[in-house]
Structure 1
């Protein structure tokens, strides 16, 4: 039962970031598009010599990005700022219920 001063208690819940799955990194959408576009060609690169594979890779990236100086494949998650964790304020009663702690008599 709450007292007349209506004091509320909270705890900080820390869990994995739902945006990056806890890795702290998210894939650059440009690279997602690249992999979708060239999926079939990428699956066949192993059939070629290393030199031919590199040449084919370079051609695909240059055709797609317009340069061999490609953007990074991943970047720091904006949601968790690269920590892989999200903190949120949770009412104490909710936290105790999640932990299956029963009410303790005063």
Structure 2
């Protein structure tokens, strides 16, 4: 494993704070399906990413591909950017939180 992949793994595991089963359950909810940007009325980018994140979390580190690491870098970047845009006030039922949760990060677990 390269140093870049090792850092990606560490960042991914630090920022994705939902378990695979919790993320699976969340992705089944109406709130999850309605969050994010939808192209042509289909599945949002974040929702599709969430399904991929569940698979990554269930994959052994030694079995990850370069494509997997590329997606993990995308997830890390999205979570960091989105966290920097935290709205003021209560976020429990916000689209901001719901979008982050689609990407495997529940900001309320940080509190």
Q: Could you say whether these structures have the same fold, taking a TM-score greater than 0.5 normalized by the shorter chain as the test?
A: no
Structure with more of its chain in helix, by fraction? 2
Structure with a larger share of its residues in strand: 1
Task: With the length of structure 1 as denominator, give the TM-score of the two structures.
Answer: 0.26
Larger RCO (CA under 8 A, 6+ residues apart): 1
TM-score (norm 2): 0.25
Rg larger in structure: 1
